[in-house]
Amino acid sequence: MATKCESNVRRMAGIVVLTGLVGGWFISNWIYLLTVFAGINLLQSSFTNICPAESILSRLGFSC
Q: pLDDT at position 58, please?
A: 87
Burial of 40 (0-12, 13-18, 19+ CB in 10 A): exposed
Residue 39 placed within a domain: yes
Q: pLDDT at position 6, please?
A: 87
Residue 17 belongs to what domain range? 11-48
Residue 23 placed within a domain: yes
Q: pLDDT at position 3, please?
A: 82
The number of distinct structural domains making up the chain is: 1
pLDDT tens across the length of the chain (64 residues)? 668 888 889 999 999 999 999 999 999 999 999 999 999 999 999 999 999 888 888 898 887 7
